[in-house]
Structure 1
Amino acid sequence: MPSLMRFLTLVAIVGAVGFGAIYALATFVSPRTREMTVTIPAARLKGAPPEAAATVHPKTAGAEAAAESATSTR
């Protein structure tokens, strides 16, 4: 039983130190704010053609099969 109590005490102390470190970081450290710029390729702004969009990103389970049958009947 004494070894169990020592183990639980050690776990509690380690947990308290960890909690204290996280609390201190959250309280005393403030993040630096800065402006951010992200370049978006022009191809992503245009969007994909409807046929390609149906096969790449199907909205429903049958959209891919419907797109394949539509291209085969044309």
Structure 2
Amino acid sequence: MPTLFRFLFFCAVIAGSIYGTMVALVTFVEPTEREVTIRIPSERVNPAP
């Protein structure tokens, strides 16, 4: 039984570190806004019949 508790504790530590990393990313990282221009060839927009 101690092995099961050790395994569950190990899984909880990994899940906690992933959760903590996600919270830190949401808190400290600010996305930058910028304009995006995508050129589409006219052949794709108006295909020849």
Q: TM-score, normalised by structure 1?
A: 0.60
Q: 1:29 corresponds to which letter in structure 2?
A: V
**1:28 shift after superposition:** 1.4
Structure number having the greater helix percentage: 1
The unaligned stretches of length 5 or more in structure 2 are none
Aligned to 2:32: 32
Unaligned runs of 5+ in 1: 50-74
Shift of 1:27: 1.8
Any runs of at least 4 consecutive aligned residues in structure 1 with deviations exceeding 3 A, and if so which?
A: none
For normalisation by structure 2, the TM-score amounts to 0.85
Distance in 1, matches of 2:16 and 2:48, equals: 54
Larger Cα-atom Rg: 1
Query: Which runs of structure 2 are paired with 1:1-20 in the superposition (5 Å)?
Result: 1-20=1-20
Two-structure CA RMSD over aligned residues (Å): 1.1
